[in-house]
Amino acid sequence: MARPVTLMTAQWGDMDFETLCKTAKEMGYDGLEIMCCSHINPERAAKDMEYCNSLKATMDRYGLKTWALAAHIVGQCVGDRWDPRLDNFAPAELAGKPEEIRNWAVKTMKYVPQAAKNMGVDVVTGFMGSPIWAYWYSFPQTTEEMVDQGFREIVDLWTPIFDEFDKYGVRFALEVHPTEIAFDYYTADRLLEEFDYRETLGFNFDPSHLLWQGVNPTIFLRDFIDSVYHVHMKDAAVTLDGRAGILGSFITFGDTRRGWNFRSLGHGDVDFEEIIRELNQYGYEGPLSVEWEDSGMERIFGATEACDFVRKVDFAASDVAFDKAIAND
């Protein structure tokens, strides 16, 4: 049976929930990966079952389901060192107040697993932030102690949050992503080790962020498959031309001068067939969630085409060896 194709709703935050559901259905999706704070209020969803039922009823009207909530912007505020950009994620009255923003984020993240349970899902995707992302280049000189302290801080901040996740039987799937404490292969491996391989914490596999860094998404998926709790379908294209660098040059996403860009599915360099083969080999039956990001393409056209692309590439594993018919049994 084909895996469900869902739409990650973060990039559709300008639509109210009813309009979003109607649009997603018209584009061909089976369901939504619902973004916290944009399309679901975590605190209200944790405390008010009628509110959750109203959201589910709206989805039902359009034949949609949900398999995951997304808590990227809240989670980012938990682990990050404050700068003015975080003011865009937190309530307006907290702008410029680093300690209050973090307190809000921690409190809100503790509501998220109960909200997820009330919505009938057991996976939350998201970010964790990083107190040491600014050190990624290691100059001015970054000591090992600084890095160690950054990982310890993340463990200290997120352990009480994960205790709440355990209470409600919900898992957290970190999207391995630049600006996160785990942004590539080796930092992902270290993060699992730092949390003593706690089953609460796994990954939301998104090949696009790995590809442009030069990490092979298929190898990452194969090696971390036991910790992959959710899958994003997202593409990227690397177009280094001798002028543009891989760091982006402070050029806005979508500008063709950039050394890489996110692209609508099938228009970039990610080898999705190999990803599907790995998912088939290890029996992943969860959703394939389209996180549609392509500043060079009209989004309704792009997200509709992306849904069709996922359905075409999501072939089932064979239930028989191809040479079985000629075997001498």
The predicted structure's pLDDT at residue 319: 79
Find, among 262, 310, 317, 315, the residue nearest to 288 by Cα. 310
* Total domains present in the chain: 1
| Predicted pLDDT at 326 | 72
Per residue in 148-177, pLDDT tens? 999 999 999 999 999 999 999 999 999 999
Rounded Cα distance between 250 and 267, Å, is 23
List, for the chain, all residue ranges whose pLDDT scores fall below the cut of 50: none
Q: Cα–Cα distance between 290 and 24 in angstroms, integer?
A: 11
Which pTM was predicted?
Answer: 0.96
pLDDT at 21: 98
Q: Which of 62, 64, 61, 71 is nearest to 40 (CA)?
A: 71
pLDDT at 250: 96
Q: What's the rounded Cα separation, in Å, for the pair 10 and 292?
A: 9
CATH code, domain with 231: 3.20.20.150
Q: Rounded to an integer, what distance in angstroms lies between the CA atom of residue 81 and that of residue 135?
A: 12
- Strand ranges (DSSP E) for 1-42? 5-8, 31-35
Closest CA to 201 of 232, 234, 224: 224
Cβ atoms of 9 and 19 within 8 Å: the answer is no
- Supply the pLDDT for residue 322: 65
CA distance 67 to 188: 24
Output the pLDDT for position 329.
Answer: 62
Over the chain, what is the mean pLDDT? Answer: 96
What angle, 0 to 180 degrees and rounded to 10, lies between the N-to-C axes of helices 72-79 and 144-167? Answer: 130
Q: Which domain holds residue 305?
A: 5-326
DSSP secondary structure letters along 170-228: -EEEEE--TTSS--SHHHHHHHHHHTTT-TTEEEEE-HHHHHTTT--HHHHHHHHGGGE
